[in-house]
Amino acid sequence: MKIGIAGAGLLGRLLAFELVRAGHRVEVFDPAPDAQARGAAGWTAAGMLSPVAELECADEHVFALGVESLRLWPRLIAALDAPVEMHQRGSLLLAHRGDEGCAMRVLGLLRNAPPDHAPQQLDTQALRELEPTVQGCAHAWLLPLEGQIHCVQAMAALAVSGTARGVRWHWGTRVASATAGCLRIEQDVHRFDWVFDARGIGARPQLPVRGVRGEILWLHAPGLSLHRPLRLLHPRHRVYLVPREGHHVVVGASEIESEDRSPVSLRSTVELLAAAHSVIPELAEARIVHTETNLRPALPDNLPCVTQADGLTRINGLFRHGWLIAPALVAQALARLHAVPRSQPA
């Protein structure tokens, strides 16, 4: 089929790569000036692949998509033409003395996880063996099956690998509307056998999507040994630390009901970094090498939504969970697409 995709963020790139691999002719349209321009939320994400920890603010469907995506990511990465860092070494939930109430509330929300995913409480010795640099946390739990992905590498690798297989990218091109088999760009209507709308917050007014501001900071901490993502269970802040190759640690993320894309605020910097330092005092001499703000695309219920009609698939509302669930969502959308009988007007 001749396929048009509106949006070259995380979803658009993944769709393009999978569709071209399946033998379709694929064109992608995005207002970004080129493949490296970092407008999409996908670039900014910390890349936590945390189906269990995210049960705090997601449902069992997101959990199931996350577990399935954790299975799909390694295969996808193996098919890409450039390396992408991904690990599945579990993640840690941490709480300071005095924050037990908050920790118990969060753990209560995770109780629906199946036994092999359930949080495992660690004593001081077990925590020290897993992550010697973590100090000052009275309580720790291991989520054994969680993972992480290097989002910047993955965004770049998906574009390069799509191009190598024949995806045509139309950069600097805003799609005004996506309807069955049609993308409208300024006054022109471009016709396709099937259209995917993956414009994130750009899908308004066709979807009631909003942007939720998120801020992150990258630290450079040579010599620091951190093997897996950490999450501090704190009554005021959701703070996590994600180690990345090159001695980097991504500290994130604020979650603010605002579409302000301006630089990271002093308040977020102080809160996120104070929390990070409280967990790993050795970070004191780390250097802040990069800060970034972006908008998570969210629907009113903060849950993902896929709608599929003849000639049109819309996927949106990935909110905090894009990297966690995109491979499974895309696989499901493609399975439905390929199940459409050839005689239909697709």
Ligand X SMILES: Cc1cc2nc3c(=O)[nH]c(=O)nc-3n(C[C@H](O)[C@H](O)[C@H](O)COP(=O)(O)OP(=O)(O)OC[C@H]3O[C@@H](n4cnc5c(N)ncnc54)[C@H](O)[C@@H]3O)c2cc1C
Query: Using the rule CB under 6 A, which residue among 18, 20, 29, 156 binds ligand X?
Result: 29
Q: Quick one: which segment of 82-90, 104-112, 125-133, 320-328 binds ligand X (CB under 6 A)?
A: 320-328
Q: Binding to ligand X by residue 320, rule CB under 6 A?
A: yes
Query: Using the rule CB under 6 A, which residue among 3, 17, 19, 30 binds ligand X?
Result: 30
Tell me the closest approach of the beta carbon of residue 202 to ligand X, in angstroms.
2
Q: Quick one: which segment of 95-103, 273-281, 292-300, 329-337 binds ligand X (CB under 6 A)?
A: 292-300
The tokens describing 68, both together, are 């399935």
Residue in this structure with the two tokens 């009901």, named with its chain if needed: 257
Please say which residue, 311 or 327, places its beta carbon nearer to ligand X: 327
Here's the x/- map for ligand X, 145-174, by CB under 6 A: it reads as -----------------------------x
Here's the x/- map for ligand X, 241-260, by CB under 6 A: it reads as -----------xx-------
Full DSSP string of 263-329: PPPHHHHHHHHHHHHHH-GGGGG-EEEEEEEEEEEE-TTSS-EEEEETTEEEEE--GGGHHHHHHHH
Q: Binding to ligand X by residue 119, rule CB under 6 A?
A: no
Distance of CA 137 to the CA centre of its chain: 27
Q: State the Rg of the chain over Cα.
A: 20
Contact 179, 312 (CB under 8 A): yes
In the 8-state DSSP scheme, what is residue 35?
T
At 105 the three-state DSSP class reads: helix
Q: How many residues does the chain have?
A: 346
Please report, as ranges, the residues that interact with ligand X according to CB under 6 A: 6-12, 29-32, 39-42, 44-48, 174-175, 198-200, 202, 214, 216, 252-253, 294, 296-297, 318-324
